[in-house]
Amino acid sequence: MTIQQLLVRAAVDDLAVFGGAPLFATPLHVGRPNLPPYDRVEQRLRRIFDRGWLTNHGPEVLDFERAVASHAGVKHCIAVCNATVGLEVAIRALRMSGEVIVPAFTFVATAHALAWQGITPVFCDIDPMTHTIDPERVEALITPRTTGIIGVHLWGRTCHVEALEAIARRHDLRLLFDAAHAFGCARGGRPVGSFGDAEVFSFHATKFLNTFEGGAIVTNDDAFATQIRLTTNFGFVDYDQVVSIGTNGKMTEISAAMGLASLERMDDVVACNRRHYEQYAAGLSDVPGVTVVGYSALDRPNYQYVALEIDAAEGGLDRDTLLEVLHAEQVLARRYFYPGVHRMEPYRTTHPGVADGLPAAEALSRRVLVLPTGTAVSADDITRICDLIAYCVEHRAEITRRLPRSGFTVARDLR
């Protein structure tokens, strides 16, 4: 008997959340790395050992920077140790200060990179269709203290770039894009990388392309690129000459080797992600209250995230109840970016009442659920997950009645 048949016949009692055996023997994570073939990394590692050159702008890093710049269609790429440091350095090099407008619906690092250096993040609502910063709300937030805007290409869906560029020009503001999710994506045929003053990619283990930890700042601006290079290397211009304040943002050789090996199979990863995305979209298309978030015709995505919106009013099953059932079945879906950056500390304290002006971000943070995908997930896994979700929605009345609404919390140690 297939799992599909089993689910059709199963009683709600058989769900793992009520004591049944979990659907999956081992956890299915969101964010399992897309790993390159081991021997491709090993070959590079051997060369790193032979050279005895481990970091500080070695040949692997320089090759990786050239490759990333070429993929992103930009003149300059500066590889960094992670995107958070990349954002901090870019913000500083762009001389942002005072207040900077950011979307409320993003990973907390976008706001932390500002607050870390004494800049106030001003939270802007999002466009509920694209989940990215709503340009129509940006202008109302500009004050004499505003120096910049940071857009986030969330889930690899590009921001309303043209509208943001126009606002930045009109008000003489710097424009930075947090492109942590968007390496390999394009908008209107133009690769993500060359929008605004600069863009920052993340190459964290969970990202479309990974360097274990890592990131890159990309730009077409020569002077800005020089400043970034200085800043990521303590401000050194020579062995013993420091010309400005800096930090250590450098990428290591082993990270760049991982990145170069991963770049070789980038097209395969997009194809796999796309198949998975389309399978989820088809498998959930008839489930009431469940929408697989789509892409605009302008976007060429990397399909790294499969994000759902769960509309309890339409389907009768709320997001957190579904999450609780999925986790019990070992499907470790994530409610990124609940409860919203503006509701996390220190912003909850420093920005009291700000949620009132963020209706779209507030609603979305209660609806979004991100599902496992990527090369570690199989088509059969996806079929079973779709069937499970459909089953939960179909039996929502009984499931909801039996699950206490005491606030399911996601354990971080489910690994």
Positions that interact with ligand T4K (CB under 6 A): 29-33, 82-84, 106-107, 109-110, 152, 178, 180-181, 202, 204-206, 215, 332, 336
Residue closest to ligand T4K, measured at CB = 31
Task: Count the Cβ atoms, other than its own, within 10 Å of residue 189.
Answer: 7
What does the block give as tokens for 203?
Answer: 């190459």
Q: Which is nearer to ligand T4K, 332 or 369 (CB)?
A: 332
Q: How far apart are CA 345 and CA 336, in angstroms?
A: 16
Largest CA distance in the chain: 74
Q: Which is nearer to ligand T4K, 35 or 281 (CB)?
A: 35
Q: Counting Cβ atoms within 10 Å, is residue 344 exposed (0-12), middle (13-18) or buried (19+)?
A: middle
Q: Are 184 and 300 in contact (CB under 8 A)?
A: no
For the beta sheet containing 306-310, the strands, ordered from the edge strand earlier in sequence to the opposite edge, are 290-292, 306-310, 368-371
Q: Which is nearer to ligand T4K, 203 or 277 (CB)?
A: 203
Q: How far apart are CA 237 and CA 322, in angstroms?
A: 55
- What's the min distance (Å) between Cβ of 109 and ligand T4K? 4
Q: Which is nearer to ligand T4K, 7 or 210 (CB)?
A: 210
- What's the min distance (Å) between Cβ of 34 and ligand T4K? 10
Q: Which is nearer to ligand T4K, 31 or 121 (CB)?
A: 31
Q: Which is nearer to ligand T4K, 280 or 336 (CB)?
A: 336
Strands 190-191, 331-332: pairing kind: unpaired
CA 3 to each of CA 101, 293, 373: distance values in angstroms, whole numbers, following the listed order: 48, 26, 19
- What's the min distance (Å) between Cβ of 107 and ligand T4K? 3
Q: Which is nearer to ligand T4K, 226 or 375 (CB)?
A: 375
Q: How far apart are CA 110 and CA 107, in angstroms?
A: 6
Q: Which is nearer to ligand T4K, 133 or 388 (CB)?
A: 133
Tokens 């930890």, residue? 213
Q: Which is nearer to ligand T4K, 7 or 161 (CB)?
A: 161
Amino acid at 184: G
